[in-house]
Amino acid sequence: MATIDLTEPVFAETIENNNLVILDFWAEWCGPCKAYGPVYERVSEEFPDVVFGKIDTEDQQQLAGMFGIRSIPTTIVFKEGIGVFMQPGALPEASLRDLVNKIIELDMDEVRAEIAAKEAEEGQDS
């Protein structure tokens, strides 16, 4: 599946209704974004079951603000509705491919257990 342009009206629905969503926050004027775009597109074609979304930070300022995007490009990954990765900067093609494979293998039961443990710990601290 090729990349899709995501906007705020369909953002939450996209995250909730897909197992794995990878987001590229970018802008037209950004040189590194232009270099990363074709890499992101190529890798997206290798993983037809993964949603690769592109979010134009100029057009979708509220979404960029929601994630505190300060540097572009920034890659964010959601698995089963949970944010599991966020990194500013363009990823090399091999690194992006490795990231997708690692996230596919990620055990979300372990992730949810870690989140629950952190929340319980924070609850005791207050």
Could you read off the pLDDT of 5-51 as tens digits, one per residue?
A: 999 889 999 999 999 999 999 999 999 999 999 999 999 999 999 99
Which of 25, 33, 35, 46 minimizes the C-alpha distance to 101?
Answer: 46
Confidence of residue 81 (pLDDT cuts 50, 70, 90): very high
Whose tokens are 């091999």? That residue is 94
Tokens at residue 77, please?
A: 């990954």
- 101 CA to centre of own chain: 14
- Residue 47: φ, ψ to 5°: -130, 80
**C-alpha pair distances (Å), 96 with each of 1, 57, 62, 68:** 16, 21, 26, 21
Q: Which of 23, 33, 51, 77 is catalytic?
A: 33
Which pLDDT score, from 0 to 100, does residue 122 have?
86
Annotated catalytic residue: which of 20, 21, 23, 30?
30
User: Tell me, what's the pLDDT at 123?
Assistant: 82
Rounded to the nearest integer, the mean pLDDT of the chain is 93
With left for phi above 0 and alpha for psi between -120 and 50, is residue 78 left, alpha or beta?
A: beta
Which residues span the domain enclosing 32? 4-125
- Alpha carbon distance 18, 78 (integer Å): 9
The count of domains in the chain is 1
| 55 pLDDT above the threshold of 80 | yes
Contacts of 57 (CB under 8 A, 6+ apart): 25, 26, 27, 63, 64, 69, 72
Q: Does residue 30 have an active-site annotation? A: yes
Predicted confidence (pLDDT) per residue in 60-72, tens digit: 999 999 999 999 9
What is the pLDDT at residue 126? 57
CATH code at position 75: 3.40.30.10
